[in-house]
Amino acid sequence: MNNSPTQKVKDIGEQGLLKIIQSFCPADIIGDDAAILTTTPEKSLIVTTDMLIDGVHFSDATTSPEDAGWRATAANLSDLAAMCASPLGITVGLGLPGDLNVNWVEKLYQGITQCLQKYNTPIVGGDIVQSPITTLSITAFGEANPNLIIRRSTAQIGDAIVVTGIHGASRAGLELLLNPEIGKNLKTQEKASLITAHQRPQPRLDVISILSEILLPTTPTLHHPISGMDSSDGLADAVLQICHASQVGAILEQSKIPTPSAFKHWLTPERSLNYALYGGEDFELVLCLPPKIASVLVEKLGTGAAIIGKITPGSEVIVKDENEKIPNQVLTLSQGFQHFS
């Protein structure tokens, strides 16, 4: 380690801290949305952990305890979906102030359970400790076909880039919760839809069966592995992380990025694109795969899914506007949310 003993976490940021922590882990296990542990030749165990802190990831102003439980659970299930893994169970770790209402905890677990019920997934354990700040940490366990596991590091030049749904909705919902007056020109149904996207995101576990249907009957062992991750930290972050891990570049077409229909008469094109690229917490999947397979996948997924670009040589990730109304952008991780920045 070459870090100064007086260097602070904020000095190196989230990505710098991750590099240090990853040096203590097996290189072939870490680096994706979840860890892969081989249990039998037919199946792999997938494990992921996500933590939410009061005042950072949720607050009473925008998130009920039920919604906090749902969102924390959805974040973990989304990481499993990003690895093409079906959920088996979760554990819940809680750090709680002693003067917190018991009713808040009960409602938190109601939200967790409501999200899990759809996927027939149980809570199988956890831990509770006293903490000055309410902290929620969930570990999710899933099972995957080794031939279908999605990795960030396998994108290939010429791959099409697919998103499984619209982007920017969660950020818009958060803005409406924080500043209700900005939505005065929106219809009631539009506002409700955007707020629900933020409070009750849907992990894309449905994509697993569709990918299995498309790929496994004819190719039990894939010669062209799928690359991808989820877009919980933003669409731009997902594409950049994939390209960095795969040592490739990408071109995204601004007009192809699906956003909520309400954006067209509510936000400027620039703001709409910003929400889509950097808003985060949309919990869709970003996948890189051969163009023909990508087209079939988009057709089967239906409304919201789209091919938004392609993988290219080099390392730059560029967003282009074919109508030339918005200048081309070269994306960087520093433009999106990073802890400690």
Provide DSSP, 297-315.
HHHHH-TT-EEEEEEESSS
Calculate mean pLDDT across residues 315-320.
96
Residues 49, 88 share a domain: yes
pLDDT at 3: 63
Kindly state whether residue 285 falls inside one of the protein's structural domains. Answer: yes
Strands 317-320 vs 249-253: parallel, antiparallel or unpaired = parallel
CATH of the domain at 41: 3.30.1330.10
Determine phi and psi for 234, rounding to 5 degrees: 110, 150
**C-alpha pair distances (Å), 277 with each of 111, 252, 253, 315:** 28, 11, 12, 18
pLDDT at 85: 96
Q: 98 versus 23: which is more confidently predicted?
A: 98
Q: 93 versus 284: which is more confidently predicted?
A: 284
Mean model confidence pLDDT for the chain: 89
Q: Structure tokens of 307?
A: 């091919």
Torsion of CA 295, 298, 304, 307, to 10 degrees: -30
| Domain that residue 127 falls in | 31-144
Kindly state whether residue 255 falls inside one of the protein's structural domains. Answer: yes
Residues 212, 114 share a domain: no
pLDDT at 223: 66
Of the three residues 127, 144, 161, the one that is the final residue of a domain is 144
Q: Are 86 and 144 in contact (CB under 8 A)?
A: yes
Q: Tell me how far apart the alpha carbons of residues 7 and 5 are, in angstroms, rounded to a whole number.
A: 6
Q: What residues are paired with 318 via a beta bridge?
A: 251, 330
Residues 299, 194 share a domain: yes
* Amino acid in position 272: S
Kindly state whether residue 221 falls inside one of the protein's structural domains. Answer: yes
Kindly state whether residue 2 falls inside one of the protein's structural domains. Answer: no
pLDDT at 168: 98
Kindly state whether residue 70 falls inside one of the protein's structural domains. Answer: yes
Tally of domains within the chain: 2
pLDDT in tens, 180-205: 999 999 999 999 999 999 999 999 99
DSSP state string for 104-151:
HHHHHHHHHHHHHHTTT--EEEEEEEE-SS-EEEEEEEEEE-TTT--B
Kindly state whether residue 188 falls inside one of the protein's structural domains. Answer: yes
Residues 297, 190 share a domain: yes
Kindly state whether residue 22 falls inside one of the protein's structural domains. Answer: no
Residues 135, 113 share a domain: yes
CATH of the domain at 210: 3.90.650.10
Task: List CB contacts of 38: < 8 A, sequence separation 6 or more.
Answer: 44, 45, 146
Residues 157, 36 share a domain: no
Residues 297, 169 share a domain: yes
Instruction: Choose among 269, 285, 185, 301: nearest CA to 229.
Output: 285
Residues 317, 202 share a domain: yes
Helix extents (H) in 151-230: 169-178, 188-199, 206-215
pLDDT in tens, 74-92: 999 999 999 999 999 999 9
Q: Is the pLDDT reported for residue 213 higher than 60?
A: yes
Q: Tell me how far apart the alpha carbons of residues 248 and 288 are, in angstroms, rounded to a whole number.
A: 12
Kindly state whether residue 191 falls inside one of the protein's structural domains. Answer: yes
Query: For 136, left (φ over 0), alpha (ψ -120 to 50), or beta?
Result: beta
Residues 139, 47 share a domain: yes
Residues 174, 53 share a domain: no
Residues 185, 291 share a domain: yes
pLDDT in tens, 132-183: 999 999 999 999 999 899 999 999 999 999 999 999 999 999 999 999 999 9
pLDDT at 25: 66
Residues 206, 309 share a domain: yes
